[in-house]
Amino acid sequence: MVQRKTGVDGSALKRAVIFDFDGTIADSLPAIIAVTEDLIGRTEPYTPAQIDEMRDLSIPDLLKVLGVPKWKAFVLLFRGRRMLKEHMHGIDVHTGMRAAIQQLHSAGVPLYVLSSNSTENVQKYLRWHKLEQYFSGVYGGVSVLGKAPRLLSLLKKEQIDTQASWYVGDETRDVIAANAVGLNMAAVSWGYNTHGALATHGANAVVDTAEELLNVLEQAWKK
């Protein structure tokens, strides 16, 4: 499955898949909601209807709805990472993602994680769920509003063929970042943003199951 091209400097470029973590690999939306309620001091849990409404929002719009100023969002993110660390053992791998990751790895496709969560949290989670060995690298601590620069850095450092590679994420900001750096984008509908919200931002594909994700990648790489 791995196809190599040569860059302008003569280096070999590889085809790879870069995953977001929270909401994509880790089924962490319920934990994130619980952490958010605690951080903003909400005493009454959000209803399913309220959560669905929030899943159609971008991060900046969500912050407005929650009444959180942008400067305070970074403080909440730092505290949220620490609190999520306490929830890690109780967060499942999303249905089908373990098999999808194993299948891609078995086919020789290098896999990476790029996440706003901390590198330590992601590595511990992957180790706890016996997924660590399938990934060639974990890049954590990415700014909530700045994934594109870190994607570019990862692509350059790992010598990845941008046009043949894919980013897999669950948020509209993931789609925006992938588009900004020229990566193919497969958006998953089981995480933070809804299928409808993701479809309006120009993802190459929006998938509802891990099996659909594998099919999208297989068909793309047959071309």
Name all domains of the chain by residue range, CATH numbers in brackets: 5-27+93-222 (3.40.50.1000), 29-90 (no CATH)
What pLDDT was estimated at residue 154?
97
What pLDDT was estimated at residue 34?
78
* Dist CA 66 CA 145 (whole Å): 17
Torsion angles phi and psi, residue 166, rounded to 5:
-130, 145
Low-confidence ranges of the chain (pLDDT < 70): 1-11, 77, 80, 84, 144-145, 223
Residue 58: which of 220, 203, 197, 164 has the closest Cα? 197
What pLDDT was estimated at residue 204?
95
What pLDDT was estimated at residue 113?
98
Please report which helix (H) or strand (E) contains residue 38, including its range. helix 29-39
What pLDDT was estimated at residue 11?
54
What pLDDT was estimated at residue 28?
80
Dump the DSSP string for 61-111. HHHHHHT--HHHHHHHHHHHHHHHHHHGGGPPBPTTHHHHHHHHHHTT--E
* Dist CA 78 CA 76 (whole Å): 5
What pLDDT was estimated at residue 145?
67
* Dist CA 212 CA 88 (whole Å): 26
| DSSP designation for 45 | P
